């Protein structure tokens, strides 16, 4: 557990610059710091944060023939209210329909 506590991770409160989308003028934040990657990795990376605090890592692969998305929800069945057991599982199915 000590190794986990010493892990150097990004400071999510700093390193973001406020911007607006071009067409709709919607607010978002663009990460201006360094994103570490392999020297063999030719992909373009961009980290953005939306006003609702959703943070997305966008990866551009010009050779890709399909688009994909991945979502990590940092909550589970231990967070279910006592009167709504199974809520997390139900919402999981709503996310991945």
- Tell me which of 2, 17, 23, 92 is the catalytic residue: 92
Q: How buried is residue 88: exposed, middle or buried, by Cβ count under 10 Å (0-12/13-18/19+)?
A: middle
CA 34, CA 51: separation in Å to the nearest integer? 22
Q: In this structure, are residues 66 and 44 in contact, taking their beta carbons and an 8 Å threshold?
A: no
Active site includes 29? no
- φ/ψ (deg, to 5) at 68: -145, 160
As annotated, the active-site residues are 92
């Amino acid at each position: 557990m000590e190794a986990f506590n010493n892990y150097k991770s990004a400071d999510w409160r700093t390193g973001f610059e406020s911007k607006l989308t071009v067409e709709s003028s919607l607010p978002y934040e663009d990460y201006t710091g360094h994103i570490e990657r392999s020297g063999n990795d030719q992909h373009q990376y961009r980290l953005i944060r939306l006003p609702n605090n959703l943070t997305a890592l966008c990866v551009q692969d010009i050779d890709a023939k399909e688009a994909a998305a991945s979502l990590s929800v940092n909550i589970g069945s231990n967070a279910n209210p006592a009167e709504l057991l199974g809520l997390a599982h139900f919402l999981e199915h709503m996310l991945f329909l």
